[in-house]
């Protein structure tokens, strides 16, 4: 079986100067192999990446994603403000619903991709990528021309993702409330916590829930979660498997598959752009749409041996035509897969491309995206 390599900026160097997750000692006690992701010390894996990946696809696992950022946006103009700063249509959200959306610069480049939850008419929760917390907060404040209050409350919360076919039973046992009827991209308050939420969201392609709880209660809740999932065989899952799961499911990673140098139209996020409203970056994206998108993100699978990595060059007929943004061995498909930003017209399924892997060019085929879709047996 091919060796696994985590391609993102993650190392096992000295970790003394980095932030630690609220349940850091729990991860060490479970035997986690720790590494660095951005400013955070995080679990890479506990047993093996492939074993953990397979367990989420077939059972239930829990990820500690407390490194993610939480902004609360409050005030009578909160909806107006958010509708201006993101590309998606926040005004269509009902209480307890959520949407995925890019945040763009005036030139259309992606500042970040976030999830916006509407808690009530004048109160929203925005989950942002860990590496972008400071940048995003500055961007939100800079572009706030209303009386809306934006607060960065990242340090106040821990965030646990319970994912997999058996995640509903575990989450209901932990929270002592029904969540099975929650539709995808919805949120509700945890019944027995003063400040805590459960959201029907995830980054794996499986049914799952994300539990936001006060940081000071994180250890207690983590232990309760592990106990609640004992019958279902819950296992802690590291960031290595999180990467392979999201790649198979067609979920993009900021900093690799999209950056501030790419636009939503280039990375397949057209569905999240509503030109019927005003938002930062609208005019640039309209111009790009009218003139034609010159490069697009495409999925591929290797036809020969090798593992594609972020930054590897892509060629067609000897001419460089793009670059790999993400790549890995797929434990589910038993293939080497990846994403690449390619010049048009080389993004159509069936196109043969060559990827420069070390000293050789390895053939690959453009395929439809995503690589994996779960068979839906539950609502959502």
Tell me: domain 270-367, CATH 3.10.310.30, correct?
A: no
Spatial distance between the Cα atoms of 133 and 126, rounded to a whole number of angstroms = 11
Length of the chain: 380
26 is in an annotated binding site: no
Angle at 165 between CA 35 and CA 334, to 5 degrees: 60
| CATH superfamily ID and name for 69-154 | Aminomethyltransferase beta-barrel domains (3.30.70.1400)
What sign does the dihedral 336-339-340-345 (CA atoms) show?
positive
In CATH, which of 3.30.1360.120, 3.40.50.970, 3.20.20.370, 3.90.550.10 is domain 10-66+156-248? 3.30.1360.120
Spatial distance between the Cα atoms of 11 and 90, rounded to a whole number of angstroms = 37
pLDDT string in tens for the chain (380-residue length): 333 434 444 444 554 579 999 999 999 999 999 999 988 999 999 999 999 999 999 999 999 999 999 999 999 999 999 999 999 999 999 999 999 999 999 999 999 999 999 999 999 999 999 999 999 999 999 999 999 999 999 999 999 999 999 999 999 999 999 999 999 999 999 988 777 999 999 999 999 999 999 999 999 999 999 999 999 999 999 999 999 999 999 999 999 999 999 999 999 999 999 999 999 999 999 999 999 999 999 999 999 999 999 999 999 999 999 999 999 999 999 999 999 999 999 899 999 999 999 999 999 999 999 999 998 754 43
Predicted confidence at residue 16, as pLDDT, reads: 56
Q: Report how far apart the first and last C-alpha atoms of the chain are (Å, whole number).
A: 34
Spatial distance between the Cα atoms of 129 and 67, rounded to a whole number of angstroms = 8
Predicted confidence at residue 7, as pLDDT, reads: 43
Residue 78 vs residues 94, 124, 125, 373: alpha-carbon distances, Å = 14, 7, 11, 35
**Domain segments of the chain as ranges:** 10-66+156-248, 69-154, 270-367
Predicted confidence at residue 192, as pLDDT, reads: 80
Q: 316: helix, coil or strand?
A: strand
Q: Which of 211, 177, 214 is nearest to 62 (CA)?
A: 211
Structure tokens, 340: 């690449």
Q: Which of 166, 156, 230, 151 is nearest to 193 (CA)?
A: 156
Let me know if 29 is exposed, middle or buried by CB neighbors in 10 A (0-12, 13-18, 19+).
exposed
Angle at 158 between CA 154 and CA 164, to 5 degrees: 125
Q: 259: helix, coil or strand?
A: coil
Lay out the sheet containing 40-45: strands in order across.
10-11, 33-37, 40-45, 19-20
Predicted confidence at residue 105, as pLDDT, reads: 99
Other beta carbons within 10 Å of 132: 21
């Amino acid at each position: 079986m091919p060796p696994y390599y985590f391609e993102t900026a993650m190392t096992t160097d000295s970790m003394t100067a980095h932030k630690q997750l609220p349940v850091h000692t729990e991860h060490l006690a479970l035997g986690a192999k720790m590494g660095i992701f951005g400013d955070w010390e995080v679990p890479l894996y506990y047993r093996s990446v492939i074993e953990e990946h397979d367990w989420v696809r077939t059972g239930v696992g829990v990820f500690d994603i407390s490194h993610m950022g939480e902004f609360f946006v409050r005030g009578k103009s909160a909806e107006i403000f958010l509708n201006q700063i993101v590309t998606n249509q926040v005004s269509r959200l009902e209480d307890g619903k959520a949407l995925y959306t890019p945040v763009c610069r005036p030139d259309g480049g992606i500042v970040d991709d976030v999830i916006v939850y509407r808690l009530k008419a004048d109160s929203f929760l925005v989950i942002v990528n860990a590496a972008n917390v400071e940048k995003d907060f500055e961007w939100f404040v800079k572009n706030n021309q209303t009386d809306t209050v934006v607060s960065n409350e990242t340090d106040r919360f821990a965030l646990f993702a319970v994912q997999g076919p058996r995640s509903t039973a575990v989450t209901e046992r932990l929270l002592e409330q029904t969540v099975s009827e929650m539709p995808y991209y919805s949120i509700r308050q945890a019944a027995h916590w003063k400040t805590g939420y459960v959201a029907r969201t995830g980054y794996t392609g499986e049914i799952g829930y994300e539990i936001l709880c006060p940081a000071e209660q994180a250890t207690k809740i983590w232990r309760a979660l592990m106990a609640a999932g004992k019958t279902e065989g819950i296992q802690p899952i590291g960031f290595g498997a999180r990467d392979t799961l999201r790649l198979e499911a067609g979920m993009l990673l900021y900093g690799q598959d999209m950056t501030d140098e790419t636009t939503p139209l280039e990375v397949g996020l057209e569905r999240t752009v509503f030109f019927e409203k005003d938002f930062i970056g609208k005019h640039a994206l309209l111009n790009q749409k009218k003139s034609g998108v010159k490069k697009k993100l495409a999925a591929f699978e290797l036809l020969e041996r090798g593992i594609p990595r972020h930054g590897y060059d892509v060629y067609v007929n000897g001419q460089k035509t793009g670059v790999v943004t993400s790549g890995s061995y797929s434990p589910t498909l038993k293939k080497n897969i990846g994403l690449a930003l390619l010049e048009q017209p080389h993004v159509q399924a069936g196109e043969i491309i060559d990827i420069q892997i070390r000293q050789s060019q390895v053939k690959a085929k453009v395929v439809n995206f995503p690589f994996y879709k779960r068979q839906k047996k539950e609502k959502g």
